Structure formats: structure tokens, C-alpha cells
Amino acid sequence: MIARSPARVGTRIGPFGAFLAVALLAAAGAVFEISYWVGVPALSPSVLGTTVAIVAALVAFFGWGLWAPKND
């Protein structure tokens, strides 16, 4: 059955915001996984460059995404 009244339906949080939250959660999970290796002094030099790049890329992802114009 097709919904009749648009006013009663839908979600308050739009999909852009929801996917932003999903991406933040996913990024946090990945950074959490990688952070262990940065925290071990004997091992961290090998992973530092990649980790810095990943964190910077995440910042850029969210930054450019929020700055970019809408898809309309």
C-alpha cells in the first residue's frame, strides 16, 4: 500500500545527517583499531605516517562534505 499523507511520515533526521553519523561511528571504530599501534612506542614509528594521513583524511571528508553544495 502506498502511504497517503506525507505530513505524517518520514524521519526528522534527513539521510545526509544520518549517513554523517554512520560515517563518524565507522571512522571512530577504525581509528580505535589503529590507535593501539600508535600507542606502542616500539611499534608506532612504523604506523605513524599512515595514521596521520588517515585521521587527516577523515577530517577532510567531513569538512569538504559539510562545505559542499547540496545535491539539488
Partner 1 sequence: MSETELRPSRTGAEGKSVAVFERPPALIQFLDETEEAIRSRLAKMRLFDRVFLLQRDWMTRITMLMLIAGLVWGAVGGFDIFGFQTQVVAYATQSSLHLSTQEIYSSITLHGIRELFGFAQQVEMAVFGLLLINALGITPRRKWTLYLSVGLLNASMLLLQGPIYLTPFNDNYFPAIGWYFLSPLGIHGASAYVVSPIFFLGWIALAAAVLLWAWWMVAHVLDWYRQHGAAALGRRFPVFLWFLMGTLVLIPLTYVPLLTATLWDMLTAYAGVPLSPLANQVIFWMFGHAIVYVLFLLPVVGLYVLIPLLARRPIYSYRFAVASAIMFVVLTPLLGIHHLYLTPLPAWASWLTMLLSFAIVIPSAITFFSVWMTLKGVPGSQWEWNAVALFAALAFGGSIFGGLTGPVNATITTDVDVHNTMFVLAHFHGITILAIVAGGFAFLYAFFPVLTGRRWFSARLAQLHFAFTVVGGSTIVLAMDQLANLGVLRREVILPIVPAITGIQLILFTGIIVMLVGQLFLVANGFLTVLRGAIFSASGLSFDEAVRLAAQSTTPASRRVPVYDIPFARRTSWQKRERAEVAWIVTVSVLLAFAVTAATPGGLAVANGHTGVGGEHPDTEFVTLFGQQYYWTANETGAIHGTFDNAIVVYADQWLQFNMTATGATQSLYIPFRDQAVVNTQVVPGSTSYASFQAPAQPGVYGAPDGEYDGPWFGVDVAALIVLPAPNATGQSLAEFRANGGAGDIYNPPIDPAATTTLVSNGEGVFNFSVPGPTLTASVPSSGGPVSFTWEVPLSSIGLTNYLVNVTSTATDAQQQYVIDHNYTLPYPFVLQRIDPTTGLVTVASTPLQINARITTTASLVPGVYLYGLTAPVAYVYNPNGESGIGSGIQTGEVMGLWGVLWVSAA
- Binding-site size for partner 1 (CB under 8 A) equals 54
d(CA 15, CA 34): 28
Residue 55: CB atoms within 10 A of its CB come to 16
Which x/- pattern over 8-47 shows residues binding partner 1 (rule: CB under 8 A)?
xxxxxxxxx-xxx-xx-xxx-xxx-xx-xx--x-xx-xxx
Cα Rg, the chain, nearest whole Å = 19
Q: Which residues bind partner 1 (CB under 8 A)?
A: 2-3, 6-16, 18-20, 22-23, 25-27, 29-31, 33-34, 36-37, 40, 42-43, 45-54, 56-58, 60-61, 64-65, 67-72
